[in-house]
Structure 1
Amino acid sequence: MVLAELDVIRPLLVCPRCRAGLEADPAGTGTGAGAGAGAGAGALRCSAPDCAYHASPAFPDVAGAPVLVDFEHSVVCREAVAALASPAHVHRGADALPTPLRRIAKPPNQVAAVNIDLLLRALPGPAPTLLVVGGATVGNGVEAVYRDTRVRVIGFDIVTSPATQFVADAHRIPLRTSSVDAVLVQAVLEHVLDPAQVVAEIHRVLRDDGLVYAETPFLQQVHAGAHDFTRFTASGHRYLFRRFEELAAGPVAGPGTQMLWSVDHLVRGLTRSALAGRATRAALFWLRGLDHLVPPDFAQDDASAVYFLGRRRDREMTEEEIIAYYRGAQGSS
């Protein structure tokens, strides 16, 4: 896995409250041991004397990673910082199944793989910077991002992980404006309180003509418990990224996959067992093949999840344009 060293990306980091630069907090100490990507970084503080995060304690260090969170405006609270290193906070889904069933229950995401290839090919220069929002686990189908030695990968989440360099809240990304060339946000926007604010932050940190790739659920049951808030139709997802030019968009998976989700959760409800639901999903894996028999316009209305690959722009999509954008099978009558 190729991640940019924390020392390399340190000049890009800013205070999540006022966006001033950061400096070492002379009174700060770490809150946990660990050998993560940012090991030994130490506590940081805002460099602006009039900012609330200039005074100690400012931004702590946990498991070797700085926690760059505006605690007064986040679901992450200062009192629970030490727990951010706990793997129990990371949603693992099909990974909880026995090994032989994992690939059946969670096959490779070919849609993501194709779009990530397009994104990587479009990145400019010899050392482009790609930000992974919610990157505590490596997403399905996006592994090429971490294998490309040309790309400087920056990852963050609200927990620590070997795949991230710091902890942050996506509503206030602690990076300088126009500091990255691309953003990957896969299966994350359903877990944030204000997706529009997160997308606005993505737009802010991207350079002109920067790229974004997003995947977000449409017809899926609740996952990640209390940290699951929102779903998007294809049109709703497109309007969420209305300040981006569309390069590609569509279903990640169709109604066959959506049915697997429903059967899984029906069995969970009947048996009171998540494992039984996942095992049933694995046994009925062939339903996923029905996705290929559904025409694209019907799949647009019945997708399990949708994707968007776009390029940053300043012009915003109008209300008239989003109504005309609809590509589903339902007529206007």
Structure 2
Amino acid sequence: MGTWPLLVDFECSILRRDELTPAAERAGAVLRGNVPAPAIERLPAALRGLWKPLNRIAARNIDRLLELLPGQSPLLLVVGGGTIGNGVSAAYADPRVQVVGFDIVGSPHTQFVADAHQIPLADRSADAVLVQAVLEHVLDPGCVVAEIHRVLKDDGLVYAETPFLQQVHAGAYDFTRFTASGHRFLFRRFDELDAGSVAGPGTQLLWSVDYLIRGLTRTATAGRVVRAALFWLRLLDVLIPREYQADNASAFYFLGRKRDRDMSPEEIVAYYPGAQTGRARPWREAP
């Protein structure tokens, strides 16, 4: 398929060969310059920043991940790496790191095409995995995280960002959302090095206003214009304490290290980081 190896077991995958081929042709057209860049990419940098500001949380966490990577030429696997994610460019710029990306569509940033439910790498072959804004788009996030755990070396690292309160943003290919506790439980076979909100209630409100205007006007363009005009709502995030962000965040991040032990039910209930602590009950207590 084009210049990218197609490493998909179609008998066990939800992906279909006849769906991937047209996608590859579109990707090849983009590489050849036959398809114009999205409108937002053609705007001046200052205006693009109003719509999609730098993800400083990701940039900070990627810097930390790079510091934790061992030895020379560590392998960083990027799941859903068709584009370079917001705030993670330092990983691609680090000459010490071998970045290997894959997606269901080939791009200049991917080495092969594959299904994240069946990562075509050997056990314990990667030093770290980056999975940013991907797990909401897979049918079985638990299966994908299990695959990430499998391909990581002992004590390997994972960095993930996943939505909590965001509207549908990939049509039929948007499936799942996670609370802070749900996101932690998804990575229950990892030690937590850090976790928290990527974007808080102000950003979440901005998403809601955008989609409200889309619904009222029946056009996504109007929503985007209003979203750009109300960019300052994001600034409210810094005023919200961490525990209140946990109950009302736009998205969460998790930075962890591989381990072999699962979290227990008691541990995940005790983990809850939000502001509603007085409502927690022992997990065995009858309703």
TM-score, scaled relative to structure 2 = 0.91
- Equivalent residue for 1:81, pick from 20, 36, 39: 20
- Do 2:20 and 2:105's aligned partners in 1 also have CA atoms closer than 8 Å? no
Q: What stretches of structure 2 of length at least 5 have no aligned partner? A: 31-36, 280-287
1:70 maps to 2:25: no
The residue number in structure 1 matching 2:151 is 205
SS at 2:149 equivalent: helix
- Do 1:245 and 1:310's aligned partners in 2 also have CA atoms closer than 8 Å? yes
The residue number in structure 2 matching 1:307 is 253
- Do 2:158 and 2:257's aligned partners in 1 also have CA atoms closer than 8 Å? yes
Q: Distance in 2 between matches of 1:95 and 1:247?
A: 36
- Equivalent residue for 1:219, pick from 151, 165, 177: 165
The residue number in structure 1 matching 2:34 is none
- Whichever residue aligns with residue 72 of structure 2, its letter is P
Q: CA deviation at 1:168?
A: 0.3
Q: CA deviation at 1:95?
A: 5.1
Q: How is 1:248-267 mapped onto 2 (pairs within 5 angstroms)?
A: 248-267=194-213
Q: Distance in 2 between matches of 1:120 and 1:205?
A: 18
Identity, in percent, stands at 69
Q: Distance in 2 between matches of 1:220 and 1:244?
A: 25
1:130-180 CA-to-partner distances (Å, cap 9, x unmatched) read 000000011000000110010011000000110001000000000000000
- Do 2:129 and 2:148's aligned partners in 1 also have CA atoms closer than 8 Å? yes
- Do 1:95 and 1:102's aligned partners in 2 also have CA atoms closer than 8 Å? no
Aligned residue pairs: how many?
269
1:182-219 CA-to-partner distances (Å, cap 9, x unmatched) read 00000000000000000000000000000000000000
The residue number in structure 2 matching 1:247 is 193
- Equivalent residue for 1:118, pick from 64, 69, 81: 64
1:26-61 CA-to-partner distances (Å, cap 9, x unmatched) read xxxxxxxxxxxxxxxxxxxxxxxxxxxxxxxxxxxx
- Equivalent residue for 1:146, pick from 69, 92, 95: 92
1:329 maps to 2:275: yes
SS at 2:255 equivalent: strand
- Equivalent residue for 1:157, pick from 90, 95, 103: 103
Q: CA deviation at 1:327?
A: 1.0
- Do 2:74 and 2:97's aligned partners in 1 also have CA atoms closer than 8 Å? yes
- Do 2:20 and 2:104's aligned partners in 1 also have CA atoms closer than 8 Å? no
Q: CA deviation at 1:74?
A: 2.2
- Equivalent residue for 2:178, pick from 200, 207, 232: 232
Supply the RMSD in Å over aligned alpha carbons.
1.7
Q: CA deviation at 1:78?
A: 1.6
Q: Distance in 2 between matches of 1:278 and 1:102?
A: 11
SS at 1:182 equivalent: strand
The residue number in structure 1 matching 2:43 is 99
| Compared CA separation, residues 216 and 95, structure 1 to 2 (3 A) | farther
Q: Distance in 2 between matches of 1:74 and 1:281?
A: 37
Q: Distance in 2 between matches of 1:237 and 1:109?
A: 19
Q: Distance in 1 between matches of 2:232 and 2:27?
A: 32
Larger fraction in helix = 2
SS at 2:11 equivalent: helix
Q: Distance in 2 between matches of 1:200 and 1:131?
A: 14
Q: What stretches of structure 1 of length at least 5 have no aligned partner? A: 1-61
SS at 1:214 equivalent: strand
Q: Distance in 1 between matches of 2:103 and 2:59?
A: 22
Q: CA deviation at 1:80?
A: 2.9
1:181 maps to 2:127: yes
1:214-267 CA-to-partner distances (Å, cap 9, x unmatched) read 000000000110000000001000000000000000000000000000000011
